[in-house]
Structure 1
Amino acid sequence: MTRRAVVITGATLNLGFEAARSIALGTYPGSKEDPDEYLIYILARTDNKAADAINKEAAAAGKPHRAVFRRLNLSDLTSVREFGTAWAEGVAAGNTRDYPPIQALVLSAGLQFPGALETVESTGLEATFAVNHVGHALLFHLLAPYLDATSPTAARVVVVSSGTHDPAQKSGLPDAKYTSAKDLAHPPPDMVNIKGRQRYSSSKLANVLWTYALVRHLKEAGKLTGKDTSKGGIAANAFDPGLMPGSGLARKGTGIEQFLWNHVLPHIKPLLRLAFGTPNVHTTETSGRNLARLAVGPGGSGDPDLTDGLVQGVSGKYYEIRRPIKSSVDSYDEAKQEDLWDWTIRYLTKGNASEEARFRAFR
């Protein structure tokens, strides 16, 4: 049994927690075929003893997997760098018990700020974009050298997006708008007063744009896995967990919004499916199990373009739970993908040529 790490952001609550729990308990689709032992890193700003709860359940079920909590604030790039440094130092010291090769990096955390423009004090970045994209991108680049590209199921990066990124899905949120990464990071005067929920949908579009750019650059660097994962490499995909009433997404909303989200909507999911014209309304547990499948599921069967098809060695897909679907028209715009990719690396490295070279080469 090989010991590998799974790193999940926002994993103390809701979707991220349920994904971590599903991995620990082996309840994700295909788990019976998976021989690995996982050390699950639960990353969040505050410790609510989620790791302890998962470990208690896993031990009672006789599972070998264990979870550990590590503090990480995605809006604070110093916090992200400290985590990356700790990982690098642990690997350099040969501490494979606490820092085993990373099987999966699951970028799950997400925040929504419905009100007026909010910025991060330390950087001046618009808060939604800072948390949902910038902090995650830095975490990826710091941990990329430690992704287990020799894993028989391929190392994986899963970016949690949302159907709200696609105007064609008519999610009820304002349409996502991408003019440039610079505009999302530091809104110009004509973008200061747009609705906070549009900032959220735009950040979710950025998640898909970045995922597709990542796949292209991994391929160019010779690091993208193929379907024959025995040759090594890294896979990357985006994931839409669907509408999950009762999750923490409304915690920045008004009192009425929070009440409806937490106490009313979770009980009328069938009506919500009818109202939105989609079956993509789920509990966090259901979405979490399927997120876990993409992260560590050992394979799948059949055509990768079909529901429940092959996931091992597959990249560049946008999954709606277990169904790969087309993402928004804008998400396939390579000029926008490259604008985001290039701006992100230049912003994160701030003129440090050696670090920029490492980030671009995934070293």
Structure 2
Amino acid sequence: MAYKSTILITGGTSGLGYHAALDIARACPDAQVIISSRSDREQAAASIHKALKQSNVVYAALDLGDLANVRAYAEEFAAARHPPIRALLLNAGLQFPGEAKTTVDGLEATFGINHVGHALLFHLLAPFLADNARVVITSSGTHDPEQFSGLLPAIYTSAEALAHPTPAFAASQGGRQRYTSSKLCNVLWCYALGRRLSSEPRRRGIMVTVMCPGFMPGTGLAREASAAARFLFLKVMPYTMPLLRALLRTSNIHSPAESGAALARLAVGDDDGVRGVTGKYFEGRREIQSSKDSYDVEKQEDLWRWTVGFLSGGDEEVRRRFEEVR
């Protein structure tokens, strides 16, 4: 079949990403849906095909913690001559509850995977985005201390401090605080990117939004946690969501299927709430305000400059290409 467009989802083989991919594949049978993660142990593409009785989903391996792998992935995408990208969902995410870890590129792993790997992927795939394409970033309400998530608040002094924390700073932060800080970076980067897309010379109409899917028991987010924590998160909490909503006094607790539907809506929905919307933050299906820090333009620009500088490796021509966004 000759597909009209491509839709690409990182972290698309399980949890939130899987359910978003399922809904998108159903809604867009004329698009090729590419789901990517480090592995596809659960045979997600085959599972979606079986559920929908169609065959427009493919798996492509991607390790966001290895920038050489991200570059190779983008090169393979270009060589395959896929149709233009209609929607790019930067959804994958990890947290490391214990001691700080680093990627193969020497970055603090939470920041490296949740932000830097995705930023590089966007810049490399930007030339293949269709006019009026949508870029959707998965963040988390935990980045906002006013939401009282129970996690320590995000800290942003500079991108460099998060990328290469000093021993003292690393010791002062737990893994979950590193996670909330990386999720703040997702929002900061969305707003910095949105400004550039709205003012880019060719006016291609590319839109970017960022979404909190809520607390989702049963997903792979806890795979780096202890065995006991994984058991509770994967086997107990999914069956106690009404109780959790009552105890935590919030409605922002959802199944992966519910949040996946909200993510799919931002990517391919056509209702007034998402059509033409850019540079906005969503909690599930609702557009809301993000944290106070996320609107700090100096923080947004510091993150943008550091990211482009790091990814270009000091090469002025590469830096210009990244800055152009395309």
After TM superposition, the score normalised by the length of structure 2 is 0.96
What residue in structure 1 maps to residue 38 of structure 2? 45
- Give 2:61's match in structure 1, choosing from 48, 52, 71: 71
What residue in structure 1 maps to residue 16 of structure 2? 15
What residue in structure 2 maps to residue 339 of structure 1? 302
Give the deviation of 1:37 after TM superposition.
1.2
Give the deviation of 1:47 after TM superposition.
2.2
What residue in structure 1 maps to residue 248 of structure 2? 276
Confirm whether residue 300 of structure 1 aligns to residue 290 of structure 2.
Answer: no
Of the structure 1 ranges 196-205 and 184-193, higher mean CA displacement relative to structure 2 is found in 184-193
Give the deviation of 1:223 after TM superposition.
5.4
CA distance in 2, matches of 1:90, 1:345: 26
Give the deviation of 1:2 after TM superposition.
6.4
What residue in structure 2 maps to residue 220 of structure 1? 199
- List, as ranges, runs of 4+ consecutive aligned residues in structure 1 with deviation greater than 6 Å: none
Distance of aligned partners of 1:223 and 1:339 in 2 relative to their CA distance in 1, 3 Å threshold: farther
Give the deviation of 1:72 after TM superposition.
0.5
- Give 1:87's match in structure 2, choosing from 77, 97, 100: 77
Amino acid at match of 2:86: Q
CA distance in 2, matches of 1:223, 1:144: 13
CA distance in 2, matches of 1:57, 1:7: 19
Q: Secondary structure at the match of 2:266?
A: helix
Pairs aligned (count) = 323
CA contact (8 A) 1:25 1:57 kept: no
Give the deviation of 1:284 after TM superposition.
0.3
What residue in structure 2 maps to residue 352 of structure 1? 315
What residue in structure 1 maps to residue 229 of structure 2? 257
Confirm whether residue 140 of structure 1 aligns to residue 112 of structure 2.
Answer: no
Amino acid at match of 2:98: G
Q: Secondary structure at the match of 1:311?
A: coil
Amino acid at match of 2:170: V
- Give 2:94's match in structure 1, choosing from 92, 103, 111: 111
Give the deviation of 1:313 after TM superposition.
1.0
Gaps of 5+ in 2: none
Q: Secondary structure at the match of 1:42?
A: strand
Query: 5 Å matches for 1:105-254?
Result: 105-120=88-103, 122-149=104-131, 154-193=132-171, 194-222=173-201, 232-254=204-226
Give the deviation of 1:139 after TM superposition.
0.3
Encode CA deviations 1:93-122: one digit per residue, 9 max, x unaligned: xxxxxx0110000001000100011111x2
Q: Secondary structure at the match of 2:130?
A: coil
| Backbone CA RMSD of aligned residues | 1.5
Amino acid at match of 1:169: Q
Give the deviation of 1:90 after TM superposition.
3.0
Give the deviation of 1:345 after TM superposition.
0.6
What residue in structure 1 maps to residue 25 of structure 2? 24
CA distance in 1, matches of 2:231, 2:78: 43
Encode CA deviations 1:171-209: one digit per residue, 9 max, x unaligned: 111111111000110002331111110000000000000
